[in-house]
Amino acid sequence: MNLKGKTAIVTGGNSGIGLAIVLELARQGANIVIDYLVHPEATEELEEQVRALGNCVIGVRADVSKVSELQSLFAQAVEAFDHVDIMVNNAGVETRTSILDTTEEQYDRVLAINLKSAFFGTQLAAQQMIKQGGGGRIINISSVHEDWPMPGNTAYCLSKGGMRMLTRTAGVELAPHGILVVGVGPGAVSTPINSVTMSDEALLKRLDASIPLGRVAKPEEIANLVAFLASDGASYLTATTVFADGGIMQSSPGL
């Protein structure tokens, strides 16, 4: 997987799965644009790690739920590196609320950060890739919950279901331009978004027991898949989601 000379934007790139993706793409030779909104100190530390790998990197503070800030993110990426070859729509949040108790504010926030940002991130990436020529890769970090209900987290599931159809439809629309659009659907991953479960021994034990492989994923395992999808090895994959869930979607109580 050689990404030498490629430029990758990773939204929500300074923590969790995004951080692991940044580091793995850098290990494969890509120049990196780290989008972040909070914790600039974490971004600065991550930039140093990328530079230590011998790669060029910039951090850009942008609220990806706002199209104007996404446009600024792309403008700064192109100014720094002249082109964008890989777009990773990774930024995401959840509220862990049900259809009965989700507020309008919670709904708007989840859909804006998870789905709106991916839609316009895909649009802007495709426009830039078409302008520069040569195709490109757009990778949407979705979830098993784009297809698998999670009661008590309804807005999140809705946003990921929307990302599923974004990936499929945009993949078909952009195929003539050589732009591949693929989703990555992680199962349970050891990241800050799952900190409540990861810090509770009983909850974690129950979660592990529900996964055929017997454990949650490491962020690096998701990042490895993203790097593959960005590489020439995935040249015939588009308009689909690759699930990395340890088999949890196929688990059964054994009736």
Would 252 be classed as within a structural domain? no
Average pLDDT, the chain: 96
Would 250 be classed as within a structural domain? no
pTM of the model: 0.96
Please count the structural domains in the chain: 1
Would 248 be classed as within a structural domain? no
- pLDDT grade, residue 60 (50/70/90)? very high
Q: Provide the percentage of residues in the chain whose pLDDT is more than 90.
A: 91
- The whole domain housing 53 covers 7-243
Would 249 be classed as within a structural domain? no
**pLDDT value at position 251?**
85
Residue closest to 21 by CA, chosen among 195, 150, 137, 173: 137
**pLDDT value at position 87?**
99
Q: Do 120 and 163 touch, CB atoms closer than 8 A?
A: no
Query: How does pLDDT run across 68-119, given as a tens digit for each residue?
Result: 999 999 999 999 999 999 999 999 999 999 999 999 999 999 999 999 999 9
- pLDDT grade, residue 254 (50/70/90)? low
Would 251 be classed as within a structural domain? no
Would 1 be classed as within a structural domain? no
Averaged pLDDT, 35-46: 98
Distance CA 75, CA 69 (A): 10
Could you give the residue numbers annotated as active site? 156
Averaged pLDDT, 20-27: 98
Distance CA 255, CA 242 (A): 28
**pLDDT value at position 73?**
98
Would 253 be classed as within a structural domain? no
Would 102 be classed as within a structural domain? yes
Averaged pLDDT, 194-215: 85
Q: Residue 145's domain is classified under what CATH number?
A: 3.40.50.720
Residue closest to 242 by CA, chosen among 126, 122, 176, 143: 143
Query: How does pLDDT run across 133-192, given as a tens digit for each residue?
Result: 999 999 999 999 999 999 999 999 999 999 999 999 999 999 999 999 999 999 999 987
Distance CA 109, CA 236 (A): 34
